[in-house]
Chains A and B, each alone.
Chain A
Amino acid sequence: MKQDEYAEFLRPDATKRPVSRDYLEQLGVDLEADFPGSTPEDFLEYPVLGEGGWFIVVKHQRTLATVSRKPWRLLGPITLLSDGLDFD
């Protein structure tokens, strides 16, 4: 999923998206070795605000173990009125 798609996806009642086994493998997760007994359903992808700003993370929900943490947009989900203006 493209990062900016999160801004459209996020609603007050929905912040987290499921991930696939393939996606976890792309992230370098060896499910059986790293999280024995867990399935892809135990992981979710979503934006967080923490030290350093906004990130898109993939976390193992039961243990909060982070398997991916990528910087997101500076303002996270906020779209300013001036966003998208092209001055050139």
Chain B
Amino acid sequence: MASSITDTLAAPRDRDEPSAQTPAALSFDDLPLRALTDEQFLARYKTDRFTASILASRMRYVVKHMSTVLLTTAFSMILRDWYDFAATISGPRDMNYPMSTGSDSLSIFMFTMPEGIRNTIEEFGPENLRPGDVIIANDPYRTGLHVNDVSFIRPVFYRGKAVAFVTIRAHQLDMGGVVAGGFSGNKKNVYENGLVISPTLLYRDDKPVRSAFNFIFDNARYGELLLPDIRSLYQSLLLGERLLLESIERYGIDAYLGAIRYSCDVSADSMREAIRTKIPDGVYEAEDGIDADGVDDTRDYRLKLKLTKYGDNIELDFTGTSPQARASINCGPLDVKAAAGVALKMLIEQQSPLSSGCFRNIDVVIPPGTFCSATPPGGPIFMYWEASITVLLAIYKALAPVLGEDAIGGDYGSLMLHNGSGLTKSGQPWLTVGNCGGEHGPWGGTKAGDGDSYTVFHVSNNLDPATEAVESDVPVVVMRKEYVADTAGPGENRGGAAVRRDTLWLADGEHLSIALHAKEPSGIGVYGGRPGTTQACWLFPGEEEGGAGLGPLLPADDSILAQSVPVVGLLDPETKRVDPNGRYYYYASRKSWAVKAGGAFRFQTGGGGGWGNPLARDPERVKRDVRDEYVTIEGAYRDYGVVIEGDPINAPEQLVVNVEATARRRREMAAA
């Protein structure tokens, strides 16, 4: 031990010898990379700085190409258009499977991958691996995420030894269970949840293992899409393997292994410095939560966070979090770690690429049996992102007071995912997952500017499928995708605006919508900014079901909401408008929402949180927001103290700011 507390903190963290079960971790060294001499660098990484940097870049090139193969050859929309996958490279067992490289895609996929690969290969038995293998696993408790997110892991052999693992975690359209597509917050246990695949050989000697394919295709729906997707995934892995082996042949195995370690050390180095310099020592606490589970709305679920920071280290303690839910809205510890990693990358360290090294100075403490650390069989995990988003938000909240201008406003905070399925009149099955609900929405404001208004929430990083692609695949017409005025959290830099999406259904179907952040805004305001609005969803039955028969285009006017059947939201019981003091309408009050052809849904996401004092926003920026219909004239007066004159609908370019009235109004607001 060192001789004092100070020396102890300055020294590398102590590590005991690893057990046989878990091989040696990467060694710890607090000396920044930039402080190493060339000789020290060579001794540590068995190669020079230039080569290590080239190989680190080359590994990013490899995962990009793996991703491109999948994007250009996948058949299902969820991969082809949603980018619902991630590719990674991990090092060998004797380095404890360090994940050096991830693709430019789903961040929560990436940060669950290090454990997912380690757990899969250790259980399968590294001694059982051969060249030409592909191992799969999808168990949320072993690999994180949900059963539809299957890990396809390819060991890369060099001179008889597995020196790398190229992996793609990719969403499969269906993995069985009680709901087509799997997306439901109502599944009560792991038996209803879908097919759980423990580490299983899918290819041996580069030939499909028949029993494994039967295992999947005798349990999963939509096999005609799954099979070509799996073949595309296999080809992506082959490309990754080939490119990696070419790199090893060219630069040598020592340099390659050194570059794996170097890539992780770069991330660790940057994160450690960010922790040390951007967060004052102290204990920071916060809570966040979700509204209900899929059983009833009598319980809400609260996440408790105690974040301790001292010196270079952070500990995130989630002790005291609500017990696990009775339905599949839970997530697991790996998802919590992943969300924490995304939060800290977003808040304090955006410079270095993702790798497992990001966590070198971060520890997560979470007991089992909470809704963020659910256990089988009664704690099914499927809508994992809804729970893990609370982790990110709690960290945002906890650190906002000390990050000052570096704080980030909350995003829309929930996919409010829509899932629909049925048969066309000709008997053809159809399924849509995540294309027609509130899946895309706004981010919060930051010191850099206003929040974007149409993207995917922070813990993810997907794309938005083209409307035309959605409409060609399923019997739906997307009638409206637009921003909603006065929903963005006001701020010097405002949040992004809520997104409203109307869909008209042309065939009978069963619909689910899982919306779990309607009771309080997830778009938290920071640095003096204010929160955005909450999410909501309404159903408009068609004439056949006694609905109003509103025609192909629902009027945009909120007065039409009075004719709706509320699906979810805090709404005024009479007008059905979003109202923070309204009644809570519960998404799972019906097992599913049966809709006849001619019915329509309206989804409205939450608004992004504002950054900075709204009274400090340049009145000309407010005027532009009124012109662009992000803010109404009334909202400009109420939220920003800016008096705008003119007609934003018919003469938007003739709007003017009444400077004197604005100054007067702002003085009044500041005094209040």
> Residues on A close to B: CB < 8 A?
7, 10-16, 28-30, 33-36, 38, 46-53, 57, 59-71, 73-82
Residue A49 contacts which of B8, B26, B96, B337 (CB distance < 8 angstroms)? B337
Residue B363 contacts which of A57, A61, A67 (CB distance < 8 angstroms)? A57
Residue tally, chain B, CB below 8 Å to A: 66
Residue A77 contacts which of B16, B114, B118, B368 (CB distance < 8 angstroms)? B368
- For A33, the chain B residues whose CB sits under 8 A away are 1, 3-4
Provide the bound-state CA to CA distance between A7 and B4, in Å.
34
Is B313 in the interface zone, CB < 8 Å from A?
yes
- For A60, the chain B residues whose CB sits under 8 A away are 5, 8
Say yes or no: B320 contacts A13, CB within 8 Å: yes
Residue B332 contacts which of A12, A68, A78 (CB distance < 8 angstroms)? A78
* CB within 8 Å for A63 and B367 given contacts A12-B323, A33-B1, A34-B2: no
Shortest Cβ gap from B121 to chain A (Å)? 10
Say yes or no: B364 contacts A71, CB within 8 Å: no
Interface residue stretch chosen among B219-227, B353-361, B527-535: B353-361
Besides A34-B8, A75-B142, 6 more A-B contacts (Cβ < 8 Å) are A10-B367, A53-B114, A63-B310, A77-B367, A81-B376, A81-B377
* CB within 8 Å for A53 and B4 given contacts A15-B366, A70-B16, A77-B368: no
Interface residue stretch chosen among B17-25, B447-455, B485-493, B558-566: B17-25
Residue A7 contacts which of B190, B368, B377 (CB distance < 8 angstroms)? B368
Provide the bound-state CA to CA distance between A28 and B14, in Å.
11
Say yes or no: A65 contacts B368, CB within 8 Å: no
- For A38, the chain B residues whose CB sits under 8 A away are 5
Q: Can you list the 6 inter-chain pairs with the closest CB atoms, starting with the nearest? A: A71-B22, A48-B363, A77-B368, A52-B25, A51-B359, A10-B367
Query: Which of chain B's residues has its CB closest to A3's CB?
Result: B19
Shortest Cβ gap from B454 to chain A (Å)? 34
* CB within 8 Å for A62 and B1 given contacts A51-B357, A74-B21, A79-B375: no
Query: Which of chain A's residues has its CB closest to B370's CB?
Result: A12
Say yes or no: B5 contacts A35, CB within 8 Å: yes
Say yes or no: B13 contacts A69, CB within 8 Å: yes
Provide the bound-state CA to CA distance between A79 and B13, in Å.
29
Chain A contact surface mostly: loop
Shortest Cβ gap from A29 to chain B (Å)? 6
Provide the bound-state CA to CA distance between A81 and B5, in Å.
44
Query: Which of chain A's residues has its CB closest to B309's CB?
Result: A64
Say yes or no: B5 contacts A64, CB within 8 Å: no
Provide the bound-state CA to CA distance between A11 and B320, in Å.
8
* CB within 8 Å for A66 and B14 given contacts A15-B365, A36-B4: yes
Residue B368 contacts which of A52, A67, A78, A81 (CB distance < 8 angstroms)? A78
Shortest Cβ gap from A58 to chain B (Å)? 10
- For B19, the chain A residues whose CB sits under 8 A away are 70-71
- For B315, the chain A residues whose CB sits under 8 A away are 48, 59, 64
Say yes or no: B118 contacts A74, CB within 8 Å: yes
Say yes or no: B9 contacts A12, CB within 8 Å: no
- For A63, the chain B residues whose CB sits under 8 A away are 5, 8-9, 310-311
* CB within 8 Å for A51 and B360 given contacts A15-B317, A74-B119: yes
- For A67, the chain B residues whose CB sits under 8 A away are 1, 14
Shortest Cβ gap from B23 to chain A (Å)? 9
- For A61, the chain B residues whose CB sits under 8 A away are 308
Interface string of B360-402 (1 = CB under 8 A from A): 1011111111100101110000000000000000000000000
Most B CB contacts (10 A, CB to CB) among A13, A50, A70, A77 go to A50
Query: Which of chain B's residues has its CB closest to A11's CB?
Result: B367
Interface string of B307-327 (1 = CB under 8 A from A): 011110111010111110000
Query: Which of chain A's residues has its CB closest to B323's CB?
Result: A12
Query: Which of chain B's residues has its CB closest to A63's CB?
Result: B310
Provide the bound-state CA to CA distance between A34 and B118, in Å.
35
Most A CB contacts (10 A, CB to CB) among B3, B8, B142, B357 go to B8
Is B333 in the interface zone, CB < 8 Å from A?
yes
- For A35, the chain B residues whose CB sits under 8 A away are 5, 8
* CB within 8 Å for A12 and B367 given contacts A34-B1, A66-B14: yes
Provide the bound-state CA to CA distance between A68 and B310, in Å.
17
Most A CB contacts (10 A, CB to CB) among B25, B190, B336 go to B25
Provide the bound-state CA to CA distance between A2 and B58, in Å.
44
Say yes or no: A77 contacts B373, CB within 8 Å: yes
Query: Which of chain B's residues has its CB closest to A48's CB?
Result: B363
* CB within 8 Å for A50 and B118 given contacts A12-B369, A63-B5, A64-B310: no
6 contacts between A and B (CB under 8 A): A34-B2, A50-B337, A51-B360, A63-B5, A64-B315, A81-B190
Say yes or no: B376 contacts A50, CB within 8 Å: no
* CB within 8 Å for A53 and B22 given contacts A64-B308, A69-B13: yes
* CB within 8 Å for A69 and B16 given contacts A12-B320, A36-B5, A50-B359: yes
- For B356, the chain A residues whose CB sits under 8 A away are 51-52
Residue A12 contacts which of B119, B310, B321 (CB distance < 8 angstroms)? B321
- For B319, the chain A residues whose CB sits under 8 A away are 12-16
Query: Which of chain B's residues has its CB closest to A56's CB?
Result: B16
Shortest Cβ gap from B322 to chain A (Å)? 7
Say yes or no: B119 contacts A48, CB within 8 Å: no
- For B368, the chain A residues whose CB sits under 8 A away are 7, 10, 76-78
Shortest Cβ gap from B653 to chain A (Å)? 55
Q: Which of B100-157 contact A (CB under 8 A)?
A: 114-115, 118-119, 122-123, 139, 141-142
* CB within 8 Å for A47 and B322 given contacts A33-B1, A53-B118: no
Is B198 in the interface zone, CB < 8 Å from A?
yes
Is B250 in the interface zone, CB < 8 Å from A?
no
Query: Which of chain A's residues has its CB closest to B377's CB?
Result: A81
Is B15 in the interface zone, CB < 8 Å from A?
yes
